[in-house]
Amino acid sequence: MVVRNVSTTTAPKVTYVTLFADESIHPRYEAALEKFGQELGRRYPMYIGESEVRSKAGEFEHRSPIDTKVVVGYFQIGTAQHAREAIEETAKSFARWSETPWRERVRIMRRAADLVDERKFEIAAVITYEVGKNRLEALAEAWEAIDAMRYYAKVMEEKDGYVVQMGPGGPGESSRVVGKPFGAWPVISPFNFPFMLANGMALGALITGNTVILKPTSEAPLTGLLLYRIFRDAGVPLGVVSYVTGPGSNFEKEFVSNPKVAGIAFTGSRDVGTRLYNEFLTGQPYPKPVVMEMGSKNPTIVTSKADLKKAVEGVVRAAYGYDGQKCSATSRVYVQAAIKSRFLEELKSRVEQLGVGDPRGKGTFVGPVINKAAVSKFRSAVQEVRRSRGRGSSGKSSSFPSLSWESSRPSKRHSRRPTIRSMA
């Protein structure tokens, strides 16, 4: 959900609701693409406490899903030792940051929102190269981060820094709730919203006085670094936020077992999230908070009273926006029998109009999926459909409006065409 706030942004706003923007955004986005294209292949450090860190374990190469010949950059292979150092530094910085007046933390987060606003085209260009989002999806993500930062700041002010007066429990009694920060939090973020989801988790922790270790997915380490720079440039002190990169397996044991970790914020798969939860629950000396968002199935229900044009457009955007690689993506549609045939025909017609290709292109709606594993998963699903020919779990036959799924572009891009499966 996008929270709308009064914004001082100078460009027409793009959200996941509109997704179609004023033409004036395109030259600035394309200029940012061109600029970042000249910065590809650079080497980036980690930032732990006050130090810029290079790993003795070496670097990993991050290639773009748009074209696997394109190297986005080289990033450090962080280790368990780096995890310990980051925990130590953020835990050490907790006292001074938590004691910083909440109004000052709010001021810093508002400054961070302004910086995202100023850099949104740069951020969107990096998102496109790193994870293959089209320009409107990438810009919508940046705008959502701006809105979230300003909204959190507004809520902090409305709640007086999270001090809420309660009703009396009894005669002569005065009660209030006072929100208090916990300490150092690893923030583990995914590829599908590499800026906004990292921002949302880190923002909630920082504005309330916690310290943060940013650990972005290895599919989007540079977007995570852009967020780290935003926080630092906005005035978050050294040590309050650290940035580490590398395989999650190198950090997991330390994050779940180190007693100086106060809580974990995670967005990602159910398997990884469940494992982290269980290990953190048993690996700590007492129960600590875990904030998690994990994937699921999200159906859309279309009844005979629906406006079919709006229903089709909603399903298309929800199912195929960023290739359906969202926890909120529509992967199933339940349609009332009386309108099934007409709905399917209109849906098929609309899907066939979607631009499929390089997400840097202005007319592209569907770009590449994130990696080879995602391509393989898609192929397996389509092969299953071809074998069943649209046969549902009830065993009854139904029409199958199959769309071509073969790649229409070089194999160096992780891309597939949208597909619809109809079941009785």
Spatial neighbors of 190 by CB under 8 A, at least 6 apart, are 197, 217, 267, 268
pLDDT given at position 146: 97
pLDDT at 400 over 50: no
DSSP H or E stretch at residue 160: none
List pLDDT tens digits, range 134-191. 999 999 999 999 999 999 999 999 999 988 888 888 888 989 999 899 999 999 999 9
Looking at residue 69, its pLDDT comes to: 94
Q: Which residues are catalytic?
A: 293, 327
Strand partners, 332: 299
Other CB atoms within a 10 A radius of the CB of residue 409 amount to 12
**Residue 386 banded pLDDT, cuts 50, 70, 90:** confident
This model's pTM is above 0.85 = yes
Rg of the chain over all Cα atoms, to the nearest angstrom: 23
Give the pLDDT of residue 295. Answer: 77
Does 78 score more than 70 pLDDT? yes
Average pLDDT of the segment spanning 388-408: 36
* Mean pLDDT value across residues 389-403: 35
Determine phi and psi for 267, rounding to 5 degrees. -130, 125
108 vs 231: CA distance, rounded Å: 8
Give CA–CA dist 333/383, Å, rounded: 20
- Average pLDDT of the residues of the chain: 88
Note the pLDDT tens digit of each residue in 273-303.
Answer: 999 999 999 999 999 999 999 877 788 999 9
Phi, psi of 46 (to 5 degrees): -95, 165
Structural domain 298-367, CATH architecture: 3-Layer(aba) Sandwich (3.40)
Cα separation of the two ends of the chain: 32
Residue 300 near residue 331, CB atoms below 8 Å: no
> Sign of dihedral through CA atoms 187, 189, 195, 197?
negative
pLDDT at 418: 66
Is there a contact between 226 and 123 (Cβ–Cβ < 8 Å)? Answer: yes
d(CA 315, CA 291): 29
Place of tokens 């959190």: 152
Q: Tell me how far apart the alpha carbons of residues 400 and 385 are, in angstroms, rounded to a whole number.
A: 9
C-alpha 278/C-alpha 256 separation (Å) is 9
Average confidence (pLDDT) over 3-29: 64
**Could you tell me the CATH superfamily of domain 25-164+176-294?**
Aldehyde Dehydrogenase; Chain A, domain 1 (3.40.605.10)
How is the chain split into domains, by residue range?
A: 25-164+176-294, 298-367
> Torsion angle, CA of 405/409/413/419, rounded to 10 degrees?
-10
Share of residues in the chain with pLDDT > 90 (%): 70
pLDDT at 90 over 90: yes
What b/e sequence results for 144-180 when a residue is b if at least 16 CB atoms lie within 10 Å of its CB, and e otherwise? bbbbbbbebbeebeeeebbeeeeeeeeeeeeeeeeee
Residue 95's CB is within 10 A of a number of other CB atoms, namely 12
Average pLDDT over residues 248-253: 97
